[in-house]
Every structure is written in structure tokens, then in C-alpha cells.
A and B are shown apart, each in its own frame.
Chain A
Amino acid sequence: MDAKGVFEILVREHAGMLRVYLRSAVHDAAAVDDLFQETMLTAWRLIDRFDSSRPFGPWLRGIAGKLVLAWRRQHAALPRLCDAAALEQLDVRLSEVQRLPGDTLDEKLDALRRCVAALPDHYQAALDGRFREQLSPPEIAQRLQLNLETVKKRLQRARAMLLDCMLGKLAALEGDG
């Protein structure tokens, strides 16, 4: 297998994690697609600078972070916090996710699925509408026959509870390690 073949494997292995990183910082789906492509092609161009004794994911996120900051400078008010400190924090979080059990990102996200399963049903219903069916809060309100403010509160609270749950799992992992 040649260098390009090996690089293709790395692209596939790290695609999910890189998209989570970009989606955490950038709300616009088209911009995420563009930044993903640019990050991977930049990585290919700079591949000789990669130190193979270190993990590939953080190196890739380093490239992506610089591209996100450049993109950020061209956009004034945005619905995401994505300055250098935020990107550094996201990098740490994804390195922690990388340490969760499982070979693939999907398997590692079993931890998140368990957190979702532990939520009360009405929070799960709101999340299902928002993330699985990709509905807006008014559409979820209509679907669940709820008042819009109730849906917004449930989404906010569900997200906060999931954050607490995931941080607890990552902290437990740190304790075990």
C-alpha cells in the first residue's frame, strides 16, 4: 500500500472526530464541509511534518483549528464561541473522548448513548426531534403538542444533564487511568 493509501485509511479513521470538532466550533454545515476538506488536503500536503510517534488526531485538529480561526475572522457575529481558547478546550475534550472504550468513534459514543438513555423520557423525546429528526424547536413543539418555551427548556436541560453525565464518565476514566 502506498502513502496515499495509508493516508486514506487515516482520513476514514479520523473523519468522524474531525467533524465533531468542526461542528462544535462552526454552526454552518457548508462551512464544516469546506473546512473538513481543506483540513484533510492540508494535512496531506504537510504530511512530512507529522511526527509519527504522536497521535494523528490532535495534529489534524491543530491544522483544523488554524483554518477555523481564519474562517472566524471573516465572520462577525456567530452562534458559536470559537476563539483560540475554545478550540483548545475542544481539542482536550476530543482527546478525552478518544480514550473512551471502543475502536471507532461510534463505539466510543456508547457512553453518550447511555447518558441519553438515562434521561427521563420527555427529555429524550425532545432530543429525538432535535437531533434524529432534525426538527426546529417550533416543529418539535407541534409534534409533541407542547408549548414552545417548554420544548426550549427541555432541550437546554437535557443538554446540560448530558454534559454533566459525560464529564462524569470522562472523570471516572481519568480516575481509572
Chain B
Amino acid sequence: MNADDMPMTNDDAPRPLDELAGGMLDEQTTLEAAAMESLSVDERRRLVDLQWIDALLTHGAPAEVAAVERSVANVLAGLEDRAKPRSAVVRGDRVDRRRWLPAISLSSLAAAALLMIALGFWWQRGSQQAMAMVERSYQAALAPRDRTYEVTVVRTNGSMRPIKASLTVRGGDKFLFEQRGPLGGMYRLGNDGQGYWFIPPAGSIVRAETDAFLPAWMRRTSTDLPHLQVSTLLARMRDYYQLQRLPDEALTAGGPQLSHLRAVWSAGRLRPSKHGRTPPEEVELWADPVTGVVEQLVLTLPIDAGRQRAHTVTLRLVEEKTLGEEAYRAETYAPDRESVMAPGE
């Protein structure tokens, strides 16, 4: 526990006001006007503070993350229908830009510039249908269901043997990636909702709060596969790619028809991130037309000069099942190993 965290005791009984708040917040019990008026000023303030805490906790829920994105998309769509404020037209953009810039961070500007390129493409090309499909798949990916995908990685345009791995995901934050190494040892990478972990065939469990350490670490351990989280990929498709809806298609003869789209990178030149990861230049998606569940994803990455890294990565849904929380915890796979924090953590 950090020194600045409060001491936690668990044996105090909730105050009557906290019970009242619990009824309102957890069970949507309504408060009659008379009961509300009988509260003291301090009680009213505490009730409002508890409402605030509840809203902060709700903000982190996967469904709320999606709701924020949806709300923003709706506002941006609404702005398209509105005329620019009169003064902005009269004074011109130059004046307006000067008024606004101090309130905006540079990182937001950069991100928004990329997003606007993507947004421009969406509206100009009328790809709302494809956008809706990605959004539906994104929502399905955030649901707390356990889905396992078979991952096939082809390097150097097929001149080396494809690599097989397995990716199991739950919602937007938990995943388990398993790959057998060339000498038969198993590499596992995951996130238990609290942080990332990596288990090499031998040695300590490496933990980190972010995935920034992974590319370098995986290169050192000859595990050069891209690590993937389906919901993250879908969010990026939505934000940085030009989407094109393709005719429905079955993946197997006689199989169900699936919604199908292609996403092409449209946010400027493809460059590796500061962590050394280059985004796919193209993604093809096949999804269940009703539930939005991703049935197959094919990522095409730029060919690297050394022709060593992945070129196409295919994720194919193999099963949906219910797993315990332990499936996403490192201790389950390496109960006797110690944990170390990744360098820089």
C-alpha cells in the first residue's frame, strides 16, 4: 500500500447515510422529497460525494468506455449538421485558432489530427455501415466472455514456416497469449486486469503496468510475434483506418454468412511507435452479423527490411467458453516462480 493511502479497516458498520446511498446507487431506490429535505447539510454533501465516487467507479467499466466513445461519435456527427458559429465565419479560422490553442495539449492535437483524417474519410466515403459493424464488434469484444482465437503468423511472405499460437481474451482488459517456442518451451503473455505479465519457458515471471516493455523483451527472448488484444485492435480500426464494407462471406463451405470489411491505414505514413511496434497497414474483419463477435481477423503488416518479423497475422475464433479468473493470472502457469518487475517499471 502506498504511504498516502488511507488505513483500511473492515469491521466498521456502514453509517445510516451510507446505507441510504447504497440503496439509491446499487438498487436505484428513489428518495422521496420529504426524506431528502430531512437530511442535514453534511448528510447531503456526503450523499453527493458518494454519487461522485460511484460515477468515477462506473467510468472505468468497459461498457462506459464504449459509451464515452459512442457519445463522442454522436456529437461529432451532430456537429456535421450544424453551421459554424457566425463569428467564426466572420473572423476566420486564424483568429479562432488563436483563441483556442492554449486550452489544448499538444498530444491531443496530434491524436486529434490523426483522428480527423480518419473521420474525414469516413464521412466523405459514406462508410457508416462499416463503422457500425466495427462498433458492434467492439462492443461484443468488451463483453465479459472468454473467447479463444487460433493465431497464425506468416513471416517473410511464406518463405518460413508459419507460427501457431493461441489468444484467449475476456472483455477489453484480460488476455492470455500462448506460443510454443522453437525448442518446445511455452511462452505465455497475459494481462489479469491489474497489469501485464510475461512467462518465458524458464526464469522469473516478468510483470509490468504497461505493455511498453514487451517488444524489446520479446525480441530478446526470440518471441517476435505481435501481441494482440482484439478490442484494442478494433478501437484502432475505428479511429485510424479507412473502412470499406465488402460483400458478406462464409469462411467455410456451407458455413454461415459473415459480415466482412477491409480497413486500410489512413492516418499518415506508417511508422513504428516509440515502443517499436508498427501498426498493420490493412486489416480484414469477418464478424457475426447479429452479435458482432469477431470470427476472423487478418492483419497485414509492412514487410520489414530484415524479413524476420510477422507479415500476416490471422486470428480465427475457435471457441467461446467460461473460464475462471485464474486463467488470466501468471501464478496459474508458474506457481513456483518468483516475479520481477520489467526494467523501467
Interface residues of A (CB under 8 A from B): 1-13, 15-16, 19-21, 23-25, 27, 29, 32-33, 36-37, 40-41, 44-45, 47-48, 52, 55-56, 76-81, 85-86, 89-90, 93-94, 97, 103, 105, 109, 112-120, 122-123, 127, 130-134, 136-137, 152-153, 155-157, 159-169, 172
User: 0/1 per residue, B189-200, Cβ < 8 Å to A?
Assistant: 000011000000
How many A-B pairs fall under 8 Å by CB? 242
Assess the B85–A3 pair: CB atoms within 8 A: yes
Q: How many of chain B's residues touch chain A, expressed as a range?
A: 35 or more
Known contacts A24-B52, A79-B29, A81-B47; is-contact A109 B60 (Cβ 8 Å)? yes
Assess the B52–A11 pair: CB atoms within 8 A: no
Q: How far is it, in angstroms, between the C-alpha of A16 and the C-alpha of B69 when the chains are bound?
A: 9
| Least CB distance, A152 to chain B, in whole angstroms | 6
CB-defined contacts of B18 to chain A, threshold 8 Å: 156-157, 159-160
Question: In this complex, which of B6, B24, B74, B79 has the most chain A Cβ atoms within 10 angstroms of its Cβ?
Answer: B6
User: 0/1 per residue, B312-327, Cβ < 8 Å to A?
Assistant: 0000000000000000
Question: In this complex, which of A29, A86, A123, A168 has the most chain B Cβ atoms within 10 angstroms of its Cβ?
Answer: A86
Assess the B85–A89 pair: CB atoms within 8 A: no
CB-defined contacts of A122 to chain B, threshold 8 Å: 10
Identity of the chain B residue whose Cβ is nearest the Cβ of A23 in the assembled complex: B55
B63 within 8 A of A: yes
Assess the B108–A12 pair: CB atoms within 8 A: yes
Q: How far is it, in angstroms, between the C-alpha of A19 and the C-alpha of B65 when the chains are bound?
A: 10
B62 within 8 A of A: yes
Quick one: which of B63-105 are within 8 Å of A by CB?
Answer: 63-64, 67-68, 70-72, 74-76, 78-79, 82, 84-88, 93, 96-97, 99-105
Assess the A20–B71 pair: CB atoms within 8 A: no
Assess the B64–A19 pair: CB atoms within 8 A: yes
Assess the B56–A52 pair: CB atoms within 8 A: no
CB-defined contacts of B46 to chain A, threshold 8 Å: 163
Interface of B is mostly: helix
CB-defined contacts of B44 to chain A, threshold 8 Å: 81, 85-86
B338 within 8 A of A: no
Quick one: which of B129-144 are within 8 Å of A by CB?
Answer: 144
B1 within 8 A of A: yes
Assess the A77–B30 pair: CB atoms within 8 A: yes
* 12 A-B pairs (CB sep. < 8 Å): A2-B93, A7-B79, A24-B55, A33-B71, A41-B79, A79-B24, A79-B29, A118-B6, A133-B144, A153-B14, A159-B18, A168-B4
CB-defined contacts of B171 to chain A, threshold 8 Å: 132
Assess the A132–B62 pair: CB atoms within 8 A: yes
Q: How far is it, in angstroms, between the C-alpha of A42 and the C-alpha of B178 when the chains are bound?
A: 50
User: 0/1 per residue, B109-139, Cβ < 8 Å to A?
Assistant: 1011101100100000000000000000000
User: 0/1 per residue, B170-192, Cβ < 8 Å to A?
Assistant: 01000000000000000000000
Query: A3: which of B22, B60, B100, B115 is its contact (CB, 8 Å)?
Result: B100
CB-defined contacts of A45 to chain B, threshold 8 Å: 82, 85
The 9 closest A-B pairs by CB, nearest first: A156-B22, A23-B55, A77-B30, A24-B55, A9-B112, A156-B14, A118-B5, A3-B88, A3-B96
Known contacts A115-B5, A157-B18; is-contact A137 B27 (Cβ 8 Å)? yes
Identity of the chain A residue whose Cβ is nearest the Cβ of B17 in the assembled complex: A160
CB-defined contacts of B50 to chain A, threshold 8 Å: 159-160, 163
Assess the A78–B72 pair: CB atoms within 8 A: no
| Least CB distance, A36 to chain B, in whole angstroms | 5
B8 within 8 A of A: yes
Identity of the chain B residue whose Cβ is nearest the Cβ of A59 in the assembled complex: B103
Assess the A168–B26 pair: CB atoms within 8 A: no
Assess the A11–B93 pair: CB atoms within 8 A: no
CB-defined contacts of A20 to chain B, threshold 8 Å: 52, 55-56, 59
Assess the A160–B104 pair: CB atoms within 8 A: no
Assess the A93–B52 pair: CB atoms within 8 A: yes
Known contacts A8-B79, A24-B54, A118-B6; is-contact A159 B67 (Cβ 8 Å)? no
